Structure 1
């Protein structure tokens, strides 16, 4: 028995040396993949008579809807035609078709979780939560600017994994305004004027109530806070 133990000892030492040698190479190992994260999303709308011209009566935002997704799971793309879901959301605040489109993205694997928060008056705020994971670290959200022909506010594919591959603790992102390209109405309360053929989604510049800001003030802010 003692002789067997002696025969095993050199093998054990060699094994230790191999591990030591591997550690001494200075090889940089990849950082561990972060686990899922839960975020509280608050849309703080500042759109008002004091921020934008021609502020309409009954101003509000429709139900905020969106998803966490991979790079290929976009709800819309500027410069491309709006889907039926984006059209219905932007023109009527109706999310039925958009829910179905997001569900299809989930089935294909490019979208992860969905979020839908209730409509609210502007100025004002609404909040909800959504989960992301390392394969789906981006967040896209949309809501109709109401009343309007086909205008909407969005959070566009915000990547919540930072440069080190870790989840951002908190982030504030201006709410961008877009024209869905499906109605030619020039004012908030213009009658329906369908765009035929349909145009492309494009950034919308709303004139400020005061001053001459080239891009106009944002409609509000998306506050993204990691809570787990």
Structure 2
């Protein structure tokens, strides 16, 4: 009699273990913990000079830096696309009024988070620093400043994502400050007279040459130094 009962006794035990095993396998993965907002110090270190680039003009400087923290769809500009009215005014005249309004509109739609706008021109070589806040939904940073004098050339930090693949904020990053042509003026030299492009061309990278020797991409005009401070 006991020999007949043993298999019947063990059956509920095996069935229970199998059910537990199925329950463990079907448990959904827990989402990664949400990351909080971050505050970054942004330093633009301008190195453009007669020692770094050919045809260095008298009175060389950059306009006040302006930009925003934003989502992937909150771009201020994009190479290969036409410049907005705000980018055109910034690149041609160092005037940020229209670009500030465009950033305000992006903020209103939720595509941008915070505005960064410096004050006054930046001598080159020279340096300027400011701070900006980002959050997990707006982890990218774009900044621009006019190369002056120039037809419509500017330096930019383009769509830099500061939220790492591990879901954590980057502690520090340094990015080369590269030149762009806004495509709105046809001048070919720093001091060329106004030559409006009609129709306008698209934004492209601008390889400004060094004083001597080849440099297909052109030396950077400085660097962007990003440091998380909170």
TM-score scaled by length of structure 1: 0.88
Runs of 5+ in structure 1 lacking a partner? Answer: 1-20
Between the aligned partners of 2:168 and 2:142, the Cα distance in structure 1 is: 19
Between the aligned partners of 2:159 and 2:228, the Cα distance in structure 1 is: 17
- SS state of the match for residue 105, structure 1? helix
- SS state of the match for residue 105, structure 2? helix
- Listed as ranges, the matches of 1:83-162 within 5 Å are 83-118=84-119, 119-162=121-164
Q: CA deviation at 1:135?
A: 0.3
Which residue matches 1:198?
Answer: 200
Between the aligned partners of 2:27 and 2:49, the Cα distance in structure 1 is: 57
The superposition leaves residues 22-76 of structure 1 with CA deviations (integer Å, 9 ceiling, x where unpaired) of 7898864222111000000000111100000000001000010000000000001
Which residue matches 1:72?
Answer: 73
Between the aligned partners of 1:67 and 1:154, the Cα distance in structure 2 is: 12
Which residue matches 1:40?
Answer: 41
Which residue matches 1:165?
Answer: 167
Between the aligned partners of 1:89 and 1:63, the Cα distance in structure 2 is: 9
Runs of 4+ in structure 1 displaced over 6 angstroms?
A: 21-26
Superposition CA RMSD, Å? 1.9
Between the aligned partners of 1:22 and 1:217, the Cα distance in structure 2 is: 59
Which residue matches 1:7?
Answer: none
- SS state of the match for residue 184, structure 1? coil
Between the aligned partners of 2:184 and 2:157, the Cα distance in structure 1 is: 20
Does the 8 Å contact 1:51/1:210 carry over to 2?
A: no
Does the 8 Å contact 1:80/1:201 carry over to 2?
A: yes
Between the aligned partners of 2:25 and 2:205, the Cα distance in structure 1 is: 53
Q: How many pairs were matched up?
A: 211
Between the aligned partners of 2:54 and 2:180, the Cα distance in structure 1 is: 17
Between the aligned partners of 1:126 and 1:22, the Cα distance in structure 2 is: 58
Runs of 5+ in structure 2 lacking a partner? Answer: 1-21
